[in-house]
Structure 1
Amino acid sequence: MTKWKSLLGAVLASTSLATAAGAAELRMSWWGGDSRHTATQEALKVCGDKHGHVIKPEFTGWAGHLEKVTTQIAGGTEADIMQINWPWLPLFSANGEGFADLNTLSGTIDLSNWTDAELATTSINGKLNGLPLSTTGRVFFFNKTTFDKAGAALPTTWDELFGAAAQIREKLGTDYYPLNAVDETAALLVSLYTTQISGKDLIDPNSLTVAWSQEELARGIAFYGEMMKAGVVMDRETANAAGNVRLYEKPEWADGHIAGSYEWDSTFFKFSDPLKEGEVLVPVKLLQNADAVAEGVYRKPSMMFSVSKNSQNKEAAAQILNCLLNEKEGIEILGSTRGLPASKAAADQLKAAGAIEPALAEANAIVMAGTGPNVSPLNEHPEVRSIFLDTLEAYAYGQMDAETAAQDIIEGINEAIEEYRS
């Protein structure tokens, strides 16, 4: 039983019947920074005036927001409209009944602005638990300047990356690395490779157990070991010697000594802005070798808007959601404060207005064109991620071999998510 389950307590209150949309007083909760807070409050005022409702805003920073929402939902005091982080779905709606089913409000919300695949990512047992606000995914960013200095082409395959590493280190020095791989990034690189050779996501959507065999995961972990040994990435001891510093804050990133990483497409400018003058960062398609059976894109909703199943004004909440995400007034005000919009209406409007930076659009296009199995939100369950990271670090320090690490990860994750199979 996780601490989130404990905090939720017993069975949540039963669903109340929706009332017809008339003048309603609603509440909406979200997290974010100042720009998101300002834009959302303005949009709620405009959309409320348009549809004849009053919406009380409830906003915080990221820290503590999960705990706040958990407490509210457990007590039946949550807002009518909530911004929900995608990995929280299993915590609040393991059986699909934790939020209002937005399929029942399709007469008010224009769901055609999302693809079936996008809506499937926020659906459980056929119930649409939220509207994806933006779709994000992992993509490679490479410092083209470093590769050019070494006379190496940007890689398109894993083999080419290993070749580029040898050329860069020969031409520029052994303190240069073409790729970053620590902590979450290292785990996701292992996941990417293992998904490519197996064609499966970490979590099987039907059995809710680890889908990879021990042999498949061991190959992915051993591949990470090969990258460290070949100098494609720093070994863990060298990487940890710099302390707990974010990659984009490291001088080795700013000057091109670390010349690439595997990051969320939406963070492009977070990584490009710190580069020194003359250093050029470009997004690159997922690397894969000829033996790959899947490209393995890690694509997910960054967050979603959900309606409380306890709301007395579901139809009114649906009107506000549709205004925020699909109608001109809401789209214009919210802009890209929650990433590149998943709603087709919003994306088209912002592109036509020139409101999306080309580099960000290019990175997102790579993610959207990628193929692979659907990613389960359980991949980002706190205990799942902790088990993966801790075991991978022990492997990187030589405390266990790849086969043992794979077995420990599989057994640990299966135990951590056992409660979701009941």
Structure 2
Amino acid sequence: MTFALDRRRFLMGSTALLGATVLAPAAALAQENRLRLFFWGGQARADRTYAATDLYTKANPGTAFDGEFMAFSDYWTKLGTQVAGGNAPDILQMDYRYIVEYANRNAIAPLDDMVGKELDLSDFDQDQLDGGKVNGKLYGISLGANSVATIVNTAAFEEAGIAVPGPELSYADLPALAEKFNSANKRPGMKLWSDNSGVEPALDNWLRSKGKGLYGADGKPLFDENDLVEWFQLWADLRAAGVTVSPDDQALDATDAIENTMVTLGKATTTAANSNQLIAFQAVNKDPLTMIAYPRYKPGAGGGHYRKPSMFFSLGATSQKLSDGAKFINFFISDPDATKALGVERGIPCKKSTRDNIAPTLDAQSQIALNFVSNLGDLLGPLPPSPPANAGEVNKALKTKSQEVAFGSQSPQDAGPAFFKEVTEILSRK
């Protein structure tokens, strides 16, 4: 006996059968072309994604989707388990940080043979197309360009009578700004800044502002242990100056869920994020939000931003429906109605025709995101190479080490060399 799962059940992020289901004739289900779709994100992303799948199934009778979504950190654990078991989804969301690892392990399928056939990439931004390549082969279709960004609670700044910082903001400016905010803050317990010492994109941005970066094209670090000592000391000083939230508060933000970030919990006026996330942040925050750039390394220094593929759609290498999956991806990035439903929640669309199509329909938060990515000025630099395999482990290790420093179990002077040694060991693993 076979059951057909309705879309709304998957909207809640669960594949379990809950309550009554619709019993479909076995013959009808046998003819149905079902595609498994797996992605990370929150409810706002799920709503938009399933609006697009609904449009696709209407345009392609006989096709159905088994969809599932979850928080970023949980997503990779489950995806890894499915891939290891030979049960990868047909269509899966992929991150720039992990695409090299998944491609090199033959866990996702190369898409080159589908370009010009199932995939029409004729007006696709070249930098975003290149971002989906590993060893010269295309493994991911960028779903949007974005940049790291600082999400800001504008109401908290207005109540304190302080202007939201502009693009010239540097880390050196934060103590004085925090002093002004703390003296006029109307919200007990709220601090100026979230503690971003364990946020890999924040470290990367800071290193790039110094003229360095995380990784070179050879996959080796572009930083050294002295950079890490400086990084951990920077945040120790910001904690001591009353700029950031306490280590106990920052520890609440451990699941990569927007609901647990410092700005959503009301612990800080800001939190580190990506430009495409403003829509999802606003959906769970009553106060109006905006976004600003990450601080510069020092006053007058260049910025560390770049236009990053926010995420990709890739195809599971074991899928028996590669052609069907590619057709859906093409619909997702090209169809006029689907792209209007998706907006810029996953980033600024990479096809010019899509950007032209959706621009007149964007809401206020989407316009902020579009303008932010389009006007980074001297903060903008080139796209770095794809992170090496095991870079995801470095990201997790940074979070752990940053907490050790924040809670005082290790000094910045000891943490820098220790973490650099750990990075070297992680990247050397095969």
Q: TM-score, normalised by structure 1?
A: 0.75
2:243 corresponds to 1:232: yes
Q: What residue number does 2:60 align with?
A: 48
**C-alpha distance in structure 2 between counterparts of 1:68 and 1:400, whole Å:** 32
Q: What residue number does 1:286 align with?
A: 294
Distance verdict in 2 for CA 1:183–1:222, change over 3 Å: closer
Residue type of the alignment partner of 2:221: V
**C-alpha distance in structure 1 between counterparts of 2:225 and 2:325, whole Å:** 46
Q: What residue number does 1:410 align with?
A: 420
Residue type of the alignment partner of 1:102: L
Q: 1:406: Cα distance to partner? A: 1.6
Q: 1:212: Cα distance to partner? A: 0.5
Residue type of the alignment partner of 1:408: A
**C-alpha distance in structure 2 between counterparts of 1:303 and 1:297, whole Å:** 16
2:411 corresponds to 1:387: no
Q: 1:405: Cα distance to partner? A: 1.3
Q: Which runs of 5 or more structure 1 residues have no equivalent in the other structure?
A: 1-22
Partner SS state of residue 111, structure 1: coil
**C-alpha distance in structure 2 between counterparts of 1:297 and 1:101, whole Å:** 29
Q: 1:129: Cα distance to partner? A: 0.2
* Contact 1:144-1:154 within 8 A present in 2 as well: yes
Distance verdict in 2 for CA 1:101–1:243, change over 3 Å: closer
Distance verdict in 2 for CA 1:192–1:231, change over 3 Å: farther
**C-alpha distance in structure 1 between counterparts of 2:160 and 2:421, whole Å:** 43
* Contact 1:24-1:313 within 8 A present in 2 as well: no
Q: What residue number does 1:27 align with?
A: 35
Q: What residue number does 2:114 align with?
A: 105
2:191 corresponds to 1:180: no
Q: 1:47: Cα distance to partner? A: 4.5
Q: What residue number does 2:349 align with?
A: 341
* More moved, 326-335 vs 110-119: 326-335
**C-alpha distance in structure 1 between counterparts of 2:197 and 2:298, whole Å:** 27
Residue type of the alignment partner of 2:336: K
Distance verdict in 2 for CA 1:357–1:183, change over 3 Å: farther
Partner SS state of residue 417, structure 1: helix
**C-alpha distance in structure 2 between counterparts of 1:288 and 1:366, whole Å:** 16
**C-alpha distance in structure 1 between counterparts of 2:228 and 2:48, whole Å:** 39
**C-alpha distance in structure 2 between counterparts of 1:227 and 1:124, whole Å:** 39
Q: 1:77: Cα distance to partner? A: 5.2
Number of equivalent positions: 385
Selected match of 2:230 from 203, 219, 228: 219
Selected match of 2:364 from 354, 358, 361: 358
2:193 corresponds to 1:164: no
**C-alpha distance in structure 2 between counterparts of 1:305 and 1:251, whole Å:** 26
Distance verdict in 2 for CA 1:262–1:68, change over 3 Å: closer
- Give CA deviations for 1:204-230 in whole Å, capped at 9, x if unaligned: 231x22220122222222211221122
Q: TM-score, normalised by structure 2?
A: 0.74
* Contact 2:38-2:68 within 8 A present in 1 as well: yes
- Give CA deviations for 1:129-163 in whole Å, capped at 9, x if unaligned: 01011233321233334334444333231233332
Q: Which runs of 5 or more structure 2 residues have no equivalent in the other structure?
A: 1-30
Q: What residue number does 1:62 align with?
A: 70
Selected match of 1:146 from 131, 147, 156: 156
**C-alpha distance in structure 2 between counterparts of 1:269 and 1:323, whole Å:** 22
Q: 1:234: Cα distance to partner? A: 2.5
Q: 1:347: Cα distance to partner? A: 2.8
Partner SS state of residue 193, structure 2: coil
Q: What residue number does 1:121 align with?
A: 131
- Give CA deviations for 1:332-381 in whole Å, capped at 9, x if unaligned: 565567555333333322223x1x22223313432454423526445984
Q: Give the percent of matched residue pairs that are identical in Structure 1 and Structure 2.
A: 20
Distance verdict in 2 for CA 1:152–1:161, change over 3 Å: farther
Residue type of the alignment partner of 2:295: L
RMSD between aligned residues: 3.9
- Give CA deviations for 1:178-233 in whole Å, capped at 9, x if unaligned: 21116754x54344323311x23322231x22220122222222211221122111
Higher helix share: 1
Distance verdict in 2 for CA 1:228–1:298, change over 3 Å: farther
* Contact 1:203-1:211 within 8 A present in 2 as well: yes
Structure ranking higher on relative contact order (CA contacts 8 Å, 6+ apart): 1
Distance verdict in 2 for CA 1:205–1:331, change over 3 Å: same
